[in-house]
Amino acid sequence: DSATVLFLSRLHPVKNVELLLAAWPLVMQHVPTARLVIAGDGEPAYVSQLRERARGLESSVTFAGHVEGAAKELLLSAAAVFVLPSFHENFGIAVLEALAAGLPAVITHEVQLSEFVGEHTLGVVTEPSAPALADAILRSLGDRPLRERCRTDGPQLVARYFSPSAVGVALLQMYRFEVSHSKAEMAHN
């Protein structure tokens, strides 16, 4: 039963890592064995600011830097929960990778995949405040049925809705719809 929480994305202010670091002491109050791994890289000055914010939490927070390949797979397989508290996320590839690895996702409403996560109960969609984020992380860590459901259903749902063939079919339908409506519009004018 891992109590590892994984943030995996580029380190940029829009990802709201500051909120995660503000919520982390609240998580630690309830789960002292919890560990936060922040994987990703960004502008050196910004990464230094984040490390400074994490000062005092060093025993429970690890900055892993940029990871890819086997190292990324290892982090995903060792984590219990994935978190991305972004201010804005056009899509959320990292969320999709975490879901495909069977992790529940704790994300804010501003992450494009929040409706998918909520609709399929693949994690917790939360408000962007430290208490709400901490509560969502704690609920996910403590919810064994959620974690088991994500482990079995997450990879299947990602494949069903986001595989190249599924996306290809959706794009083809969209283009056909557009072409048929454009022809009808031209005939009407």
**pLDDT at residue 170 in the model:** 57
- 105-108: strand order across its sheet: 61-65, 35-39, 4-8, 81-84, 105-108, 123-126
Give Cα 167 to chain centroid, integer Å.
20
Note whether 17 and 8 are within 8 A (CB).
no
**pLDDT at residue 179 in the model:** 74
Residue 68's contacts (CB-CB under 8 Å, 6 or more residues apart) are none
Averaged over successive runs of 10 residues, the pLDDT of the chain (189 residues) comes to 91 96 96 96 96 90 95 95 93 91 96 93 95 97 95 93 66 70 66
**pLDDT at residue 184 in the model:** 61
**pLDDT at residue 57 in the model:** 87
**pLDDT at residue 56 in the model:** 87
**pLDDT at residue 58 in the model:** 74
The whole-angstrom separation of Cα 99 and Cα 121 is 11
**pLDDT at residue 162 in the model:** 84
